[in-house]
Structure 1
Amino acid sequence: MLRFAPSPTGDMHIGDLRTALFNYIVSKQRNEDFIVRIEDIEKEKNVEGKDEEILALLSLFGIEYSQVIYQSENVRFHSAMALQLIHDKKAFSCFCSHEWLEKKREEAKENKKAYSYDDACRNLPDELVLDNMNPFTIRLSRPDKAIVINDLIKGEVSFEPDAVDSFIIMDQDKTPTYNFACAVDDMLSDISLVIRSQEHMSDTPKQDHVRTSLGYEKKVEYAHLPIILNDTFSVKWLLEEGFLPAAISNYLISIANETPQEIFDVKDAIEWFSLEKISKSPARFSIELLREINKKHLKNMDATELSRYVGFADANIGELAKVYLEEASTTKELKSKIEAIFAAKEIPEEFTEVAQIMAKTIKNAPYFQEYDDFKKYIMKESTLKDENFSKALHFLLTGAGNGPDIALVYKYLKNYIREIIK
């Protein structure tokens, strides 16, 4: 079983989507189920509707999952596991106040030492614990030896006991902390491999320690992805800007990775993707590289399908949109080009007179299959022969003074001339 575990606290970013894609791909390769776990325990941070938005985005990108689990529904299990750890003397009640702990952190900072909890409450006698009416947290006793993680990307990574610390597993309000809830949930779902960002590397030994302390014998595998530098783009924004889901997936799978081809879809990636081929070093997200990949996906798209992105259902308009890929790279940019063709034209003053004569002639012209015949007719009937002819015609047909070859534009617009010349 593999899982994607987003928090419904904001927009999904490209790093989140990459994690979801990799988990989905590997689940298909291993023929294991893939689930989505919404980590919603911190209620005050949740944004209403973000869970549904996340699931909708996964569906849009073709990421199929067998089940959706809300972490908040597992709180009773988290509490039961915490009680078991206390019963087994592997966890303890900690009465240290936030102010006291903050003072200890400041002292460590002043002494230029890494802070770790001093286990002040670890060995309190039972009677002192029972008689103490102050608020308390529950801490898991630090491990006795180093925890070694065999990461599928990073290799073997060792964590000393102080790096794990006697960390809090239940807050004073009896809410489970992130690492404890995550470890227990992975147990409950029988997760076999966790693929996530390198930012979570320090969480891994703590989660491993939770499971070991609970007597869980299965060793969960890990693969920590190198971070994406410049990860400031939300998936929602990229889609609104006109980047295709297929192109976004293509690029995210390619980042810091060896791929047998430049342009591919997720189904292709399932055939050759390998975690071991991912670079150990961070990679920078490039919007320009994404533009180039998006442009190539648009070129490969069925013309009628592409036309729908610009407001039509006509293969000719789709082919015309592909012509504009010389100067545009997203569906949003293509739509603005096509809309300009059918909108009222603003003709520069120097071309106004020529354009008015030309427009009148075109409105009375018969249908012409070929551009050359169309042009000859307009020139003959209007007697326009000066150097402004081509420029004025370009403005009339496209709304711009330059751009694609007007003969090529006419090829795809000839059935719409009456709508364009108003």
Structure 2
Amino acid sequence: MYRVSLFPTRDLHLSDLSVALMNYICAKQTNQQLIVRIEDGDKAHNIDGKDQELLEMLALFGISYAHLYYQSENFKYHLQFASTFLDKKKAFICFCAFDKVSPYDGTCENLSSDEILNNPNPFVIRMKTEPISDSFIIMAQNKYPTYTFACACDDMLQGVSTILQDEAHLQNCPKEELIRKSIGYDQAIHYTHLPMIHEGDKSVQWLLDQGYMPEAIVNYLLLLSSPTPTEIFTLEEAIAWFDIATLSKTPVHFDMNKLGFINREHIKRIPNMELSKRIGYACDNIGKLAKLYTEEVSTTHEIKQKIDAIFAKKEPLATFEAESKLIQELILNAPYFETFDDFTAYLSEKSGLKGEALLKPLRFWLCGADYGLDPAFVYPLIKNYLKEIVR
């Protein structure tokens, strides 16, 4: 069984998503269950509603799971295990400064029962280790388990057999194994630590807000981490060939330019109507138009700005004001033309304008800009909306 940990104290980071994706893929490949655990032990910093937001984010990226757990549901077991460790002298109560870092000097290791009972000061519970200088806290002063202790207990209780996690957690593995061994749990748990992503603390939501599509983010994160048979692919395609054994052993760098390239390629791949809906419209031709803009920009947010400018209320061009007003009036009263050539021929004949005096205002009315896409490519996709566009 694989597990994904989510932290309701913050937004989902790229490194979190990368770990979740690889757990999901490996679970699929081995026909094992994937569980999700909300690590809500830090009660003081949990954000209301963040757990549901994180679960919705997993769904957006196509990550499904078999069971959902909350760390807080196991607090009674954490306390029981800690009490057992105290009874068996595998842990001890410690009154030392709680921010004291290793090496620990063992001051409280051998306190008598009377010394403990008669000490009114707050305390923590430390796991006894050899050497004592490595003794680490398992229950904090607020009577809640530390993250390492809770994870060790929960993975055991929930039957997790394989853990893929960020290498930032590497130092916790020996502690977790000691905890489970001290409880008497002898089932092996296999660890794989994923390479750090420099700038992996970027918020996934921020990338989505910028117009990077989930398909592209998935593609890039997997491309970053291991060799792939093709540069552009979907999550479902990756399940067929992804190999955790080929995972990079060194930190990787997040490149926004590369993500932009991959995003453009995925914009080109999705159905036109789907793309149209993602930018706030519902027309196949608007989806086709959106794909034309991948020659200029990389994100759906930028494309939406381009297309919104086409449909926005416009004022005549200052440099061709009279010509702009004339072209606007002619378009509003023009008959329907199937082709751009027939359309422009009509406008030229009725206005007497030619060259730049015709094309500059026409580009502005059709494209919402005086540069960029050729109006000849835009016209076939917006001709049914002309009266709305030049209103």
Same fold? TM cut 0.5: yes
How far apart in 2 are the matches of 1:368 and 1:313?
Answer: 23
The whole-number CA distance in structure 1 between the counterparts of 2:62 and 2:322 is: 53
User: Do residues 123 (structure 1) and 92 (structure 2) align?
Assistant: no
Tell me: CA distance 1:417–1:173, structure 2 relative to 1, closer, same or farther (3 Å). closer
Q: Partner residue of 1:4?
A: 4
| Distance (Å, rounded) in 1 between the aligned partners of 2:153 and 2:125 | 15
CA distance in 1, matches of 2:193, 2:93: 32
Q: 1:318 aligns with which of 277, 283, 287?
A: 287
- Among 225, 231, 234, the residue aligned to 1:262: 231
CA–CA distance in structure 1, aligned partners of residues 213 and 176 of structure 2: 37
Change (3 A) 1:397 1:134: closer
**Cα shift at 1:407:** 0.8
Q: Deviations over 1:75-105 (max 9, x none)?
A: 110011112212222112223244xx74xx6
Instruction: Provide the secondary structure at the position in 1 that maps to 2:320.
Output: helix
Count how many residue pairs are aligned between Structure 1 and Structure 2: 391
Q: Shift of the alpha carbon at 1:222?
A: 0.7
Across the aligned residues of Structure 1 and Structure 2, the Cα RMSD in angstroms comes to 1.7
Q: Distance in 1 between matches of 2:91 and 2:356?
A: 87
Partner of 2:221: 252
Partners of 1:286 and 1:421 in 2: CA distance: 40
Q: In structure 1, what is the equivalent of residue 189 of structure 2? A: 220
Q: How big is each residue's C-alpha offset from its partner over 1:165-213, in whole Å with a ceiling of 9 and x where there is no partner?
A: 1111112332111111110000001111111111111111111111111
Does 2:287 align with 1:300? no
Question: What is the alpha-carbon distance in structure 1 between the residues aligned to residue 151 and residue 21 of structure 2?
Answer: 20
The match for 2:146 is: 177
TM (norm. structure 2) is 0.95
**C-alpha distance in 1, partners of 2:186/2:367?**
68
1:182-201 alignment, distance < 5 Å: 182-201=151-170
Deviation at 1:398, TM superposition (A): 1.0
Distance (whole Å) between structure 2 residues aligned to residue 358 and residue 95 of structure 1: 83
Is the CA contact 1:138–1:171 (under 8 Å) kept in the aligned structure 2? yes
Deviations 1:132-168 (A, max 9, x none): 4543322111147xxxxxxxxxxxxxxxx86xx1111
Aligned ranges 1:321-336 → 2 under 5 Å: 321-336=290-305
Residue aligned with 2:191, SS: strand
Q: CA deviation at 1:346?
A: 3.5
- Contact preservation (8 Å) 1:346, 1:399: no
Looking at structure 1, the residues matched to 9 and 138 of structure 2 have their Cα atoms a distance apart, in angstroms, of: 21
CA offset digits 1:394-421 (Å, max 9, x no partner): 0111111111111111111111111112
TM-score (norm 1): 0.89
State the distance in 2 between where 1:219 and 1:129 align: 36
Deviation sequence 1:303-322 (CA, Å, 0-9, x none): 11111123222111111111
Larger deviation: 270-279 or 135-144?
Answer: 135-144
- State which of 275, 296, 312 in structure 2 corresponds to 1:343: 312
Q: Distance in 1 between matches of 2:31 and 2:346?
A: 65
Identity of aligned residues (%): 46
Q: Offset at 1:362?
A: 1.9
Helix, strand or coil at the partner of 1:44: coil
Q: Does 1:357 align with 2:357?
A: no
**Structure 1 residues 372, 3: CA separation in 2 closer, same or farther (over 3 Å shift)?**
same
2:252 maps to 1:280: no
CA distance in 1, matches of 2:2, 2:345: 66
CA contact (8 A) 2:279 2:304 kept: yes
SS of the residue 1:387 aligns to: helix
CA distance in 2, matches of 1:251, 1:240: 17
**Gap runs ≥5 in structure 1:** 106-114, 145-160
Distance 1:212 1:340 in 2: 64
Conserved in 2, the CA contact under 8 Å of 1:229 and 1:285?
A: yes
Shift of 1:128: 4.1
Alpha-carbon separation, structure 1, partners of 2:121 and 2:208: 51
Amino acid at match of 1:236: Q
Runs of 4 or more consecutive aligned structure 1 residues displaced over 6 Å after TM superposition: none
1:41-56 counterparts in 2 under 5 A? 41-56=41-56
- Whether the aligned pair in 2 keeps the contact of 1:256 and 1:282 (CA below 8 Å) is no
